[in-house]
Structure 1
């Protein structure tokens, strides 16, 4: 079991190091074959938080991004609380399937160079709505991607700032999701050993992924980013159907 945890989090950390996202989906998706999803999500919390904080602090001044993203981050907190209260007992398979379909559509639009842009004057109110929705979807599906990732991509940030902004968003999502899991009684001391293994494996994989990202051209990164979202969306959609 510990070897499986190490392998899953090393692979998930590598993917996260390259494109800035994917650790929860890959890790929970693989571990979900061996244990209940709630237990896999509980193991995920600490390594996800550590890697997200690391990702948020690397690449420049995080304060500048926080000033630009504050309404979105507040919305994530409120949306996660709302989701924990109202959506904790809904059918997560159906939600995951539609999330996967939406990710596939967004990835295809990106691969065909259909680009969206958010005006600076609209970031305050739109960011809050995006954050509110992202927080709710996170509780329902365990995935932090929508609609936060498309929104951040539409802010026209450069490659490294986009990855840093994703780290900020995922950090807030992870903290609020941890609070929801603790409230639901899913956090247990018996998970200490798997958490320690995951906490070692995920950063090692992330270092490898960051080295890969530094050596690829921006256009290659863009294509890999959208192909990864396409694969993630197909995985979620098919998992919801099967």
Structure 2
């Protein structure tokens, strides 16, 4: 019997983690999704937490793709997807060097700058300001998203750094994110398998948590469909800011330890 499945602390951390990730996959507050690994890392090594979550993420992606089918921005995917694949490759090549704590700290710092920039633009240019699509910028943030997604499943903030200023309709943004991360997570299965992360213990734990995946994803989609854009975007930026502070705190504390 898998000892992990007999540990009540595993469920105390994993169940809320999977639920929050599912809400994110459904499109509700995309940034909350990357609390999954940090939450589960309270009771297990971060690498193991990421390996257990990945098959669950793939199932959530399938539900999200069905939920938001036919609603996406083709240009955003065209600009960002090649970079994401490059970022996954970089993550694979540097897996032995780059730690999850480094990534948490860097992503948190980038997200804080991103939210601060948005707040300044709202103050100077007004709430109606939106950025224009840009192939180079989209490719860069796609690469960063692919890399951070591979290392610690925290691809959401870099993805949002590019997409949120575009001011897409919330449903279109959710559908675009569903396709982007479905492809990203499917590709990640290959290097995770090659690195030996899918052993019996981790896959059994993934299977035990699977039933919560579709329910939480559909709940997130239900909320997005009922949220107006003028509420959706401030909420999402606020969520990014809160999680960024958490990432900086967790990553920085670990990096400063002797």
TM-score > 0.5, shorter chain as reference: yes
Cα RMSD for the two superposed structures:
2.4
Q: 1:34 aligns with which of 33, 43, 49?
A: 43
Corresponding residue of 2:117: 109
Corresponding residue of 1:82: 90
In the TM superposition, what are the counterparts of 1:130-209 in structure 2 within 5 Å? 130-209=141-220
Corresponding residue of 1:97: 105
Structure 1: 5+ residue stretches without partners: none
Aligned length: 237
- My pick for the range that moved more, 232-241 or 196-205, is 196-205
- My pick for the range that moved more, 167-176 or 6-15, is 6-15
Q: Structure 1 residues 132, 3: CA separation in 2 closer, same or farther (over 3 Å shift)?
A: closer
Corresponding residue of 2:250: 239
Contact (CA 8 Å) 2:25, 2:61: kept in 1 or not? no
Q: Structure 1 residues 178, 104: CA separation in 2 closer, same or farther (over 3 Å shift)?
A: same
Shift of 1:49: 1.3
Shift of 1:30: 1.1
SS at match of 1:221: helix
Within 2, Cα distance between the matches of 1:60 and 1:203?
Answer: 15
Shift of 1:173: 2.1
Within 1, Cα distance between the matches of 2:89 and 2:157?
Answer: 17
- My pick for the range that moved more, 133-142 or 177-186, is 133-142
State TM-score, norm by structure 1.
0.85
Contact (CA 8 Å) 1:130, 1:147: kept in 2 or not? yes
Within 2, Cα distance between the matches of 1:26 and 1:146?
Answer: 12
Within 2, Cα distance between the matches of 1:207 and 1:68?
Answer: 24
Within 2, Cα distance between the matches of 1:45 and 1:205?
Answer: 16
State TM-score, norm by structure 2.
0.80
Within 2, Cα distance between the matches of 1:155 and 1:12?
Answer: 24
Q: Structure 1 residues 87, 206: CA separation in 2 closer, same or farther (over 3 Å shift)?
A: same
